[in-house]
Amino acid sequence: MPNSDLSTIAGRLAALRAAMRDRRIDAFMVPSADPHLSEYLPQHWQGREWLSGFTGSVGTFIITADFAGVWTDGRYWTQAETELAGSTIQLMKIASGASVQYVDWLAENMKPGQTVAVDGAVLGLAVARLLEQALAPKKVALRTDRDLLNDIWHGRPSLPTAEVYELLPPYATKSRTGKLADLRAAMSRLGARHHVISTLDDIAWLFNLRGADVNYNPVFLAHALIGPVRATLFVAEGKVPPGLAACLAEEGVDLAPYGAFAAALAALPADGTVLLDPRRVTHGTRQALPAKVAVLEAVNPTTLAKSRKSDAEAAHVRATMEQDGAALCEFFCWLEHTLADPQREPLTEVAINTHITAARARRPHFVSPSFGTIAGFKSNGAIMHYRATEASHAVIEGDGLLLIDSGGQYLGGTTDITRVVPVGAITAEHRRDFTLVLKGMIALSATRFPQGTKSPMLDAIARAPIWAAGIDFGHGTGHGVGFFLNVHEGPQSISPSAMPEPHTAMESGMITSIEPGIYRPGSWGIRIENLVLNQPAESGEFGPFLRFETLTLCPIDTRCLDHALLREDERAWLNDYHATVRQRLAPHLSGDALAWLHTRTEAV
């Protein structure tokens, strides 16, 4: 079991069950969450991983006296089977990361009079309500007042202490005061005097601040309370440098200790009205508000605002894509030369991450990877969120496909790209699957659609060519991407597991991934991913339409194609894309990398 010894996991579960018995708790739930409902968690809140040994970023762990199970979706099944093997913990397969089947399981398996416990500080408000609705008819109590892990997790990691810094012009294209004025205008329209924000990317965006508290995402731990005149940022003391703190104060932003957030909510005037987003705050946050305060529930206005990149931000992203694409050309040129060298040292999946990060680091304004690189050779490519480690990885030798999903954080934007390259000889089946995936990506990339179309409705367009072959894939087609922020951002999501609600509408300026795939467990995985920008298209009697501008600039390996499966319009799209890639990246390259670019962008 990677990262965990089975006897250690057994000991931790035994300690937890003892604590549960002492407190008369019959079931304990550990979500993958922190007080900000983040996707990637500081170590302090990695309780599910510490307790179970399962390292995937999504999963819910439930423990009773005689059962332990992790609920996770198809992206992580193979990984979970490996990491949980030999333990007493069961893998509970669910359809998607948005599924709450564990709520149904608790409702079915708990007996009247029993108690389910979960730390309310990390329990999403929306999930808490589902739990209450499911358990109440069975007269099962829900306790949210204690973090049971604190009682048994000796040496639990402390909260991160990285310094907060300011995102400055030209990359901060709108001032803090301007963003706060827009937010207060939205609050006024809704009738709210105060607004609670806990999601870290919303806070970082609103205040033009960045940090390094969460791996890969340039955010910092904080809550925010926006009032009619001033705003308060609840952040650990010492994290904001004095000069920046003084600047914030001059612009109407006060600092308070991170731990003072709940008390500040409790002190709000009873005749006030508070705006909060029930999907982006925890049960504990809601419980901290005075009972008499009027609460308005709506999507955070900042969530919608930051998803719609300005023209100035889009220009920065285009420039960033050129630098990122040039770095990738240098990397893939090195990779091909290395694989072709018969005298080379063995090349591992771990080395892929080292070299691709080094290539990006040579580019201006690079900050960090935007997520952990996925480099999966042959069967490892079929594990959707695979992570190669020093303890467990493959050597890249022989024949097969190598899938590389990677990204970078730059001051001018966030990148996310997946490419697949052939190693040695590949088969007709490889080519068929690769071409079907490409056809799916082209189908959606070339689509025009009415402005305001609910993003989940677009998912089937990318799947149609793959479905036509009787194949499907177990993840969404696309996710929103931030501007030097989280690589996964809402509210748009091109996914069959997302509900087509009003806030998921596609609007001009949104950046989204398009990444269909085909995965054959034990054999290979294929995913091709570009980022696209919503742009205005024609407007007529049926209203305004949108189109996708492809932002990502990197050749798609035509050596993997089955040319017979491509239609002429698909061939034309690929050739046009490669012509653009060559034109935009050539000025940033020289020598072997430039020659490689010319070779890999030849028309088909």
Cα dihedral: 334, 551, 590, 575 (round 10): 90
The counts of H helices and E strands in the chain are 18, 28
With b for 16 or more beta-carbon neighbours within 10 A and e for fewer, the 164-183 pattern comes to bbbbeeebbbeebeebbeeb
Find the mean pLDDT for residues 493-520. 95
Ordered by where they begin, the domains of the chain are: 6-152 (3.40.350.10), 165-299 (3.40.350.10), 308-600 (3.90.230.10)
What is the secondary structure of 498-563 as a DSSP string?
S---GGGB--TT-EEEE--EEEETTTEEEE-BEEEEEEEEEEETTEEEEEEEE-------GGG--G
pLDDT at 202 over 60: yes
Residue 298 is predicted with a pLDDT of 95
Find the mean pLDDT for residues 488-501. 93
pLDDT tens digit string along 378-427? 999 998 888 888 888 999 999 999 999 999 999 999 999 999 999 999 99
The Cα-based distances of 228 to 138, 179, 182, 191, 588 in angstroms read 44, 14, 12, 11, 48
Residue 98 is predicted with a pLDDT of 65
Q: Could you tell me which of 482, 486, 480, 485 has the C-alpha nearest to residue 498? A: 480
pLDDT tens digit string along 151-173? 999 999 999 999 999 999 999 99
Under the banding of pLDDT at 50, 70 and 90, the label for residue 96 is: low
pLDDT tens digit string along 233-265? 999 999 999 999 999 999 999 999 999 999 999
pLDDT tens digit string along 294-318? 999 999 999 999 999 999 999 999 9
Residue corresponding to tokens 């991450």: 353
Q: What is the DSSP letter of 199?
A: -
Residue corresponding to tokens 């079929």: 382
Under the banding of pLDDT at 50, 70 and 90, the label for residue 482 is: very high
Residue 2 is predicted with a pLDDT of 40
Under the banding of pLDDT at 50, 70 and 90, the label for residue 431 is: very high
- The Cα 291–Cα 314 span in angstroms is 44
pLDDT at 489 over 90: yes
Give the chain's end-to-end CA distance (angstroms, integer).
Answer: 46
pLDDT at 339 over 90: yes
Residue 74 is predicted with a pLDDT of 78
pLDDT tens digit string along 433-445? 999 999 999 999 9
Residue 39 is predicted with a pLDDT of 87
Residue 3 is predicted with a pLDDT of 41
pLDDT at 4 over 60: no
Residue 384 is predicted with a pLDDT of 84
The percentage of the chain sitting over the pLDDT mark of 70, rounded to a whole number, equals 98
- The Cα 63–Cα 52 span in angstroms is 10
pLDDT at 51 over 90: yes
Find the mean pLDDT for residues 272-282. 95
Q: What is the DSSP letter of 483?
A: S
- The Cα 536–Cα 84 span in angstroms is 48
**Mean of the per-residue pLDDT values of the chain:** 95
Distance of CA 75 to the CA centre of its chain: 13
Residue 22 is predicted with a pLDDT of 95
Question: Higher model confidence: residue 196 or residue 40?
Answer: 196
- The Cα 307–Cα 504 span in angstroms is 11
Q: What is the DSSP letter of 348?
A: B
Question: Higher model confidence: residue 540 or residue 577?
Answer: 577
Question: Higher model confidence: residue 94 or residue 524?
Answer: 524
The percentage of the chain sitting over the pLDDT mark of 90, rounded to a whole number, equals 89
Poorest-confidence range of 140-149, 305-314, 382-391, 452-461?
382-391
- The Cα 485–Cα 283 span in angstroms is 25
- The Cα 190–Cα 192 span in angstroms is 6
Find the mean pLDDT for residues 335-343. 91
- How many degrees, rounded to 5, is the angle at CA 257 between CA 255 and CA 259? 145
Residue 390 is predicted with a pLDDT of 85
What tokens were used for 40?
């990637």
